[in-house]
Structures are given as structure tokens and as C-alpha cells.
Amino acid sequence: MYLEEAINKATIIAEEQKADFFACLDRLPQDLDRWLYNPTILEEQSLNQGDILNNIPICFIEDDGDAYGGNFTVALMSTSCDMQPGRLPYVLAAPVVSLEELTQYKNKDTANQFAEQIKKNKIARYFFLPALNGLGDACIDFSQIVTISSNFMHKIKSEKPSNCVLSLSQKGYYFFLVKLMYFFARIETDPARTAA
């Protein structure tokens, strides 16, 4: 089912508002940068879900079983309460991928289309981040989440505040949660499966 069809069938949206709703969603990411981010970095001493930080070391285990690392811009994925000092020892973070760099690996014919899909959040594993505060157009890669010491991240936040480039607004945060939940959730359609 396509977006317009789904909206037209939805009984929960007032009939007279359906056209506006579709138009609003269809024009994403236009104006996204106006409401996705908070005007300032949230609470300088706290880590908040969705915060974007520059130059953070992360690593992955590759095919040969060895660890490969590098410094990335990351988005904090843990819930804000779990990232409070004295809570969990590690926080979850996902790398932020530069759209310009990523599309370099596509051929010219498909690179623009690929970038547009990401910008419209049409790919489940990417959350689009419009350019701001020195960050070019980018996306959070939900499929490459890693863990980082919570103490280390707090130290970065307090001692290197310039590394903290963006926080999500309340509306942006909701949008982020929707994408994140649909990335991880699988909606079951057959109750009998869970009853077994």
C-alpha cells in the first residue's frame, strides 16, 4: 500500500485533513532542518538520546575476526535515562554517514536517486540528518550500532563541548524514535503464531 492510499483509508485522520497530511509528509525533507534539531545542545552535562557527537572512536569486528577502528561522527542511541552517570557502563551509538561520501560508491546514474531515498527516509536503516553546524547532509546508520564507555562519552561532553554538534528537538526526537522503532520492530499479523 502506498502512502496516499494508506492515508485515504485511515479512519483516524479527519477527512478534511488528509490532503494536508499527505502534502506535509510528501514534502519531507523540505523544512526538516527547521524543526529536527534543537536550537542549542541539550543540557551540557548530560547525554541525550539522539545527540550527535564528532570524532568518536568506534570499532567493528571484521570478516577476519579482527577489530577495525576509526573515528566517526556518532548518534547516541541509548535512552537518555540509561546514559545518566552511574547507570549503564556503556552507551549505544550509531555511526553518522556522510551522504556525499556514501554516494561516491554509487554510479552516477543511481547516486542521486539513492541520496533522495535517504533524504526522504525511505530506507529503514537510515535516519536522515540535514546539514547544520558543520555537519553535511548525512544519515544515522541504525545497522552499525556499537557500544562506547559511558564515562568516556561524559568526558567528551564535559571536556570537549565542541565535539557535540547537534541535539534533536522534541519533535525531531519523536521522529527519530518512530524510525528507530520501526527499524527494530516487526509487526506480527497472525496472533496464532504468538500463541503457539
Partner 1 sequence: MAPTLPEVFRKAVSTAAVFPLIAFCQAEAVKKVDIVEQQFFVSEQVMSATLGSAKFEGNEFDYNDNWLRPIPELTRQINVVNELVDLGAIVFAGSRDVTAEEANIMRQYYRSKLRKL
152 binds partner 1 (CB under 8 A): no
The verdict on 188 binding partner 1 (CB under 8 A) reads yes
Query: 3-class SS at 66?
Result: coil
24 binds partner 1 (CB under 8 A): yes
Question: Residue 144, interface with partner 1 (CB under 8 A)?
Answer: yes
Report the alpha-carbon distance of residue 180 to residue 172 in Å, rounded: 12
What is the closest distance, in whole angstroms, from the C-beta atom of residue 136 to partner 1 in the complex? 15
Q: How far is the CB of 96 from partner 1 (least distance, A)?
A: 11
DSSP per-residue letters across 16-42? GGHHHHHHHHHTTTTTHHHHSB-SS-S
User: Does residue 87 interact with partner 1 by CB under 8 A?
Assistant: no
Number of C-beta neighbours around residue 23 at 10 A: 9
Interacting residues of 183 by C-beta distance below 8 A, sequence separation 6+: 124, 125, 142
CB of 85 to partner 1, least distance (A): 26
Q: CB nearer to partner 1: give 95 or 130.
A: 95
194 binds partner 1 (CB under 8 A): yes
Compute the CA torsion angle 176, 181, 184, 188 (nearest 10 deg). -150
Q: What b-and-e string marks burial along 57-77, b requiring 16 or more CB atoms within 10 Å of the CB?
A: ebeeeeeeeeeeeeebbbbbb
Is 21 an interacting residue with respect to partner 1 (CB under 8 A)?
A: yes
* 81 is a contact residue toward partner 1 (CB under 8 A): no
Distance CA 34, CA 134 (A): 16
The binding site for partner 1 (CB under 8 A) comprises: 1-3, 6-7, 10-14, 17, 20-21, 24-25, 31, 35, 59-60, 62, 66-70, 72, 95, 97, 101-102, 105-106, 117, 121-126, 141, 143-144, 170-171, 174-175, 177-179, 181-183, 185, 187-188, 191, 194-195
